[in-house]
Amino acid sequence: MATISDIARQANVSRTLVSRVLNNKAGVSPENRKKILEIIEENHYVPNSLAKSLVLQKTNTIGVVMDDLCNSFFFKLIAGLQDAAESHGYNILFCSGQKDMATRLKYVDYLTGGCTDGIIAYGSCFDDNELFRYLAAKSANSVLIESNLSDCATDKILLDNFHGAYTATEHLIRQGRRHIIHVTCDMNYAVGLERLNGFVQAMRDYKMPLGPDSILYADHFEKIAYQQMQKRLAHGTRPDACFVGADKPAFGVLRAAMEAGLSIPGDLAVIGFDDDEPDSKDMLFPPLSTMRQPLYEMGQAGVSLLIDKMNHSDREPVVKSFDAELVLRETCK
């Protein structure tokens, strides 16, 4: 690979002149500029980004830490992050993979070890709190998405899960549904708890019956919700509406209900949370009503906030909250 010195040598000028040409600065005669540009072109020369970042103390790279890249739930978030980063002239370095905490802390060490200007961490799993705290302590330029750790003085992007869950439940109640249950998503995540709380609050406010049968505990995937709902339909009283803490388990609920011969949404109305399945509208399931989480916008906002913070390192931490939006499709009108 050619270096700036190679170019300078070939052009019979100093490195300084080449650097000025590269960065479109004044102080180069037209002839020299032309000659240098030609030689750059000939050699397909591209400045070494490491050297540049080292001297400028600026990498134009944002590190992103998340549980798992391989989950369709993250598509919109990733797209939002990528688009915003690109439009600001930043690259993104993804670090993911569900590893033990020691490994994940090493990721943070790596990302804060010079190769990024700032870090965005996504997640609300309680197990990750240690990670977030470590990150916040190490890097002044960091943004948490979904995690509302009060002892981390970083910028935060949040979703109002409580309000979203309240809205969904309220909608079911106002529809005249009488036997409403909630299938939770993973309770190891703050979002799971918040959504459950929103459901309970709405039920209480409207004086709806709330018993031990009103809540089924599941996780972020389809299977357990399916099994729980199957068991419930076999034994318990039949619900006529179900608010589910996420979309994937909502599909599990739908599957159990349909296999049990229930008509959707006649016998059972279902509202999910997230709007995470890009293809769901095309699938054989009835299109799922859900609380749309604006993950794309949240990703964008995370990047904006981070870049703003890097430019105003002295400003107070900002918390930006988003609202989920009720999207009515076939499973609940």
Partner DNA sequence: CCTGATGTGTGTATCGATTTACATTTAACT
Partner DNA sequence: AGTTAAATGTAAATCGATACACACATCAGG
The residue range among 71-79, 154-162, 235-243, 323-331 that interacts with a copy of itself, by the rule CB under 8 A, is: 71-79
What is the distance between the alpha carbons of residues 44 and 22, in angstroms, rounded to a whole number? Answer: 13
Q: Which CB, 95 or 121, lies closer to a copy of itself? A: 95
User: Does position 283 bind DNA by CB under 7 A?
Assistant: no
CA 62 to chain CA centroid, Å, is 14
The nearest distance, CB 154 to a copy of itself, in angstroms, is 17
| CB-neighbour burial class of residue 102 (10 A; exposed 0-12, middle 13-18, buried 19+) | exposed
Name which of a copy of itself, DNA, none residue 5 binds, using a CB cut-off of 5 to 8 Å depending on partner kind: DNA
Residue with Cβ nearer a copy of itself (139 or 184): 139
Nearest distance in Å: CB 92, a copy of itself: 8
227, amino acid identity: Q
Task: Indicate whether 4 belongs to the interface with DNA (CB under 7 A).
Answer: yes
Contacts with a copy of itself in 154-183 (CB under 8 A)?
A: none
**SS3 assignment, position 326:** strand
How far apart, in whole angstroms, are the C-alpha atoms of residue 136 and residue 131? Answer: 9
What are residue 169's phi and psi, to 5 degrees? -65, -45
DSSP 167-217: HHHHHHHHTT--SEEEE---TTBHHHHHHHHHHHHHHHHTT----GGGEE-
Residue of 31, 100, 279, 314 interacting with DNA (CB under 7 A): 31
Give the number of residues in contact with DNA, rule: CB under 7 A: 32
Q: Which of 114, 130, 209, 321 binds a copy of itself (CB under 8 A)?
A: 114
- The residues near 170 (Cβ < 8 Å, ≥ 6 apart) are 202, 206
Rounded to 5°, the CA angle 133-112-301 comes to 70
The answer to the question of residue 43 lying near DNA (CB under 7 A) is no
- Does residue 114 interact with DNA by CB under 7 A? yes
Instruction: Select the residue interacting with a copy of itself from 93, 210, 318, 327 (CB under 8 A).
Output: 93
- Contact set with DNA (CB under 7 A): 1, 3-5, 12-20, 22-23, 26-32, 46-48, 51-52, 54-57, 114
